[in-house]
Amino acid sequence: MTALLLGTFLALGALSYVLYPLLMNNAAVTEGGLQRNDGAQQTNRNQAIDALREIEFDRATGKLSDNDYDSLKASYTERALAAMRAGEMAVCEVCGPRPEADARFCSRCGRAL
């Protein structure tokens, strides 16, 4: 009986340790661990970039027509650019602005920023 309780306790501890980063509000995982993400521009930029990726996927899978894709892409791109211009961002000499604000290397070509 004691072994069952101890095993259950350890399993719940391990589960909470694994799920903790997923359940934290407004946190981003970085190289150094967890870091608070309090910037509104960061959130807006991430949402706009995620929306662009989502419509790209929907178009590739045939769920979105070309006309709808064009109109959505224009509005999401405008929103993403406005959010990126509002905050600081990493810029690659070859690829241009990168979506990762704290990047040390370009996510496309690998060059140091």
48 lies in some domain: no
**Token pair belonging to 10:** 């350890």
pTM surpassing 0.85?
no
110 lies in some domain: no
What pLDDT does 38 receive?
Answer: 45
6 lies in some domain: yes
Mean pLDDT of all residues in 7-30: 77
Mind listing the pLDDT tens digit for each residue in 32-89?
Answer: 444 444 455 567 778 888 899 999 999 999 999 999 999 999 998 888 888 777 666 6
27 lies in some domain: yes
103 lies in some domain: no
Q: Which amino acid is at 19?
A: L
The strand pair at 96-97 and 91-92 is best described as antiparallel
Host domain of residue 22: 1-37
DSSP 5-54: HHHHHHHHHHHHHHHHHHHSTTEEEETTEEEE---HHHHHHHHHHHHHHH
Mind listing the pLDDT tens digit for each residue in 54-65?
Answer: 999 999 999 999
Cα dihedral 31, 32, 33, 37 sign = negative
Q: Which amino acid is at 101?
A: A
Cβ–Cβ under 8 Å, residues 83 and 39: no
What pLDDT does 68 receive?
Answer: 93
